[in-house]
Structure 1
Amino acid sequence: MKRNHLFLSSIIAFMLTSCFQDYPTPEHVKQYITVNAAIHAMQTRAFNTVWEKNDAIGIYMKKSNDKWSGAIQANNVKYITDGTSIFRVADTKKAINFPIDGSNASFVAYYPYKAALSDMKYPVDITDQSNLPDIDLLYSDNAEAVNSEQLNINLAFVHQLTKVILNIIPEDPLHDLSGLSAKITGVGTKATFSLDNGQLSSPTSTGNISFNVSADGRTAEAILLPMTSMKNKELIISIASNTFAFPLDKAINITSFEKSTQYTYNITLTKEALSVSQAIISDWIAAPSENIVIGKISTPETTGGTIDNPFTIKEALANQGKTDVWIKGFIVGYYSGSSYKSFVNNANSVTKASNIALAATPHETDSSRTFPVQLTTSTKATTAVKERLNLQVHPENLGKEIRIRGNLEPYFSTIGLKRTDMAIINGDTIPRK
């Protein structure tokens, strides 16, 4: 297979015919097995729609009425192609034969081939993204109750992992992006796939995955394990001394990575921020799209976060872990639930007095651009701040700019300010000294 970041398609049809050895067999099963592989809708092999020389698949066979456990009659037999649609057994001594008693047979197959498999367990390891076809797991289990009178056996292969593509465009089209790097943090890196039932295990290892980036820095691709939650996972892009980050759980429509699904983010790099103008989920499987903005992580000034030089919202996002720091922003609403996505951008019938939402502008309506601030009653100081700032008691605070002190910690599925014990609003310092 070409090593230029091309993948196999979601569906690959294989036609198997039978192959037997030269000892006497019943006449109704005395037929040779060959393998024809036709590649259909090869979206991920855009530069070549045929198999490459030495592409290999592994095939298992059992009697249809038996279970896989202890009843395997063809065990991980390797079939390869010379670059045409014909696949041949790699070792003629291991050619697959239908059951000699004429029983129906069932098949499972997978790509890419691995020689050493135990108990039909396929080890999945995506830590190395340098050769994407080597980790793009495909699986077929649709050929059941097949008999030797059927010369053609169609094996439909389906992607078992997730594909993510980043299309990166500089605001200045002449800007050089070579040397750009991209990674996704906190994701599964290893798992086990059961070939007998087609199930992928939960991750057995987690970490960061670096994308396979093109030489010009304008395209990045990765094969990932499916995931149901984006919590504590970030997309990070670095170019020269600039770093951009986006918490994946801030996405509105894309809340998970499903198997067999391709996610494409069209990203524009500007001087101040990384703007994802469009997020498309497509072939392999189509799904909703979404617009997001990824903020630039700047090196904070040593004097930032003080009462006289408070962090902006953007600076606060880049300084998680800082304690007793000041930030500034406009009160734009509050959160009715437990996530920033529950943002309410008004002060009508406020249901919660335990938090407020800040933003860089006084009329922000996009929840992904808001910054949650906790209001508590844990101490006298925090109680005074809560009583003066919460919108349930003071709806007139909506749209006002404040300065407030606290700790930058994970909050409402993003970064927020917690343990707030001092604030300034309308020139008044709370609590009053």
Structure 2
Amino acid sequence: MKTTNFFYRISVGVICGSALALSACNDELTNTVDNEPVAANVTAQICTETRASGTSWTNNDAIGISSIGQTSACTNVKYVTANGDGIFTGTPIYFQDAQSSVTFSAYYPFSGSEGTGAGILANSTQSDNQSAENQPNIDYLWATATANKEHPTVNFIFSHQMSKLTLVFQNGIDTEVSGITTYTLKGLKMEGTFDTGTGKAIAKEDANTENLTVATSGVISGSALPSLILYPQVITDKLELSIMNGGKSYSCDLTVTNNALANGKDYQYTITLTKEQLKVTSSSIEPWITEKHSGTATIE
């Protein structure tokens, strides 16, 4: 996440022509007998500022909306912002009567087909999904909201379900971080799942730990590298960072509270490179809950 709050309003149609037109919802959420139908007005706000993969929605970003506790009601209704401007369109959702409140869940990014629950999505946080183009595929968001006919605004406040890790390298005495060509994280599981019904993202219990190697160039002292998005997980051994700088290899262990990466937390490390060692400190930025760490590393 960056440092600017965004509020996204989703435009919803006011009338569904017929029950057949509302392909993802049945008449439990539509007015078929009494009174004029009232369409839900859906707003969406990301409570932890913006997505780690960018500062705004992008063209054709989509969310999936489902009703909770409604038998065969709205399921995985797709809303799309065609122009990436935060104005979403999709199949309109109606309330049946003024007495009943309906709770909805929503997730990002949309998957599957309207009318069929997206279920549990499996994915990987390996380097190919850490690019700016692919990170939105693993930047899972989830929210719930309740509304009714008298108060039809459905205000989703999304929260991050993944963990984020950011590295900042700094020049030490007689050293230049501009020579860093790769960095590697060791000791993390890359394979995991996201439950679109509950919002839970977690690394697969039976997955093996893997090395995550990211190529980089033009590293600027004191400037953060693009953040990594990772599955929440327990670290069973240790989390190790190694870098290549000027043909030399450096490594250090990164400490994490309770040996676990938690959802919605931003783990940021500021690392000073010297000829003899890496000196690891931490920095905190809101709104992610930032872990603070310290440590040292020696040249290999």
Q: What TM-score do you get using the length of structure 1 for normalisation?
A: 0.54
Q: How far 1:52 sits from its partner (Å)?
A: 3.2
Q: Which residue of 1 aligns with 2:239?
A: 233
Q: Which residue of 2 aligns with 1:275?
A: 279
Q: How far 1:161 sits from its partner (Å)?
A: 0.8
What does the per-residue CA deviation read over 1:157-185, in whole Å, with 9 as the maximum and x for residues that have no partner? 11111100001122268836255211211
Q: How far 1:279 sits from its partner (Å)?
A: 1.4
What does the per-residue CA deviation read over 1:63-101, in whole Å, with 9 as the maximum and x for residues that have no partner? x4x4xxxx3422222211233332111xxxx43333589
* One-letter code aligned to 1:42: E
* One-letter code aligned to 1:57: I
Is 1:22 the equivalent of 2:17?
yes
Larger Rg: 1
Deviates more, 1:129-138 or 1:174-183: 174-183
* One-letter code aligned to 1:226: P
Q: Which residue of 2 aligns with 1:76?
A: 76
Q: Which residue of 2 aligns with 1:126?
A: 125
Check conservation: 1:181, 1:217, Cα contact below 8 A.
Answer: no
Tell me the distance in 1 between the aligned counterparts of 2:103 and 2:119.
15
* One-letter code aligned to 1:88: T
Q: Which residue of 1 aligns with 2:25?
A: none
Q: How does 1:337-348 map to 2 (within 5 A)?
A: none
Shift in CA distance, 291/98, structure 1 to aligned 2, threshold 3 Å = same
Shift in CA distance, 85/160, structure 1 to aligned 2, threshold 3 Å = same
Tell me the distance in 2 between the aligned counterparts of 1:124 and 1:35.
29
Q: Which residue of 2 aligns with 1:52?
A: 58
Match of 1:259 among 257, 260, 263: 263
Q: Which residue of 2 aligns with 1:217?
A: 219
Tell me the distance in 2 between the aligned counterparts of 1:38 and 1:157.
6
Check conservation: 2:140, 2:194, Cα contact below 8 A.
Answer: no
Shift in CA distance, 28/260, structure 1 to aligned 2, threshold 3 Å = farther
Check conservation: 1:181, 1:211, Cα contact below 8 A.
Answer: yes
**Secondary structure of 2:153's match?**
coil
* One-letter code aligned to 1:121: I
Q: How far 1:254 sits from its partner (Å)?
A: 6.9
Alignment size in residue pairs: 275
Q: Which residue of 1 aligns with 2:297?
A: 294
**Secondary structure of 2:137's match?**
helix
Q: How far 1:139 sits from its partner (Å)?
A: 0.7
Is 1:96 the equivalent of 2:101?
no
Tell me the distance in 2 between the aligned counterparts of 1:9 and 1:60.
28
Tell me the distance in 2 between the aligned counterparts of 1:26 and 1:173.
79
Q: Which residue of 1 aligns with 2:196?
A: 195
What does the per-residue CA deviation read over 1:131-166, in whole Å, with 9 as the maximum and x for residues that have no partner? 32331111112x14x322222111111111110000
Please, which runs of 5 or more residues in structure 2 have no aligned partner? 19-30
Tell me the distance in 2 between the aligned counterparts of 1:282 and 1:95.
38
**Secondary structure of 1:177's match?**
helix
Q: How does 1:378-397 map to 2 (within 5 A)?
A: none
Tell me the distance in 2 between the aligned counterparts of 1:212 and 1:103.
54
Percent of pairs with identical residues: 23
* One-letter code aligned to 1:216: G
Q: Which residue of 2 aligns with 1:245?
A: 251
Tell me the distance in 2 between the aligned counterparts of 1:176 and 1:253.
27
Q: How far 1:188 sits from its partner (Å)?
A: 1.5
Shift in CA distance, 288/225, structure 1 to aligned 2, threshold 3 Å = closer
* One-letter code aligned to 1:56: A
Q: How far 1:17 sits from its partner (Å)?
A: 6.0
Check conservation: 2:181, 2:215, Cα contact below 8 A.
Answer: no
* One-letter code aligned to 2:120: K
Tell me the distance in 1 between the aligned counterparts of 2:155 and 2:277.
49
Check conservation: 1:125, 1:189, Cα contact below 8 A.
Answer: yes
Shift in CA distance, 227/40, structure 1 to aligned 2, threshold 3 Å = closer
Tell me the distance in 1 between the aligned counterparts of 2:96 and 2:183.
51
Tell me the distance in 1 between the aligned counterparts of 2:202 and 2:256.
27
Q: Which residue of 2 aligns with 1:175?
A: 176
Match of 1:31 among 38, 59, 71: 38
Deviates more, 1:111-120 or 1:154-163: 111-120
Please, which runs of 5 or more residues in structure 1 have no aligned partner? 1-5, 298-433
Tell me the distance in 1 between the aligned counterparts of 2:139 and 2:236.
21
Match of 1:140 among 140, 143, 146: 143
Check conservation: 1:108, 1:140, Cα contact below 8 A.
Answer: yes
Q: How far 1:109 sits from its partner (Å)?
A: 0.8
* One-letter code aligned to 1:294: A
Tell me the distance in 2 between the aligned counterparts of 1:26 and 1:9.
45
Shift in CA distance, 140/211, structure 1 to aligned 2, threshold 3 Å = farther
Q: How far 1:106 sits from its partner (Å)?
A: 1.9
Q: What TM-score do you get using the length of structure 2 for normalisation?
A: 0.75
* One-letter code aligned to 1:246: C
Q: Which residue of 2 aligns with 1:374?
A: none
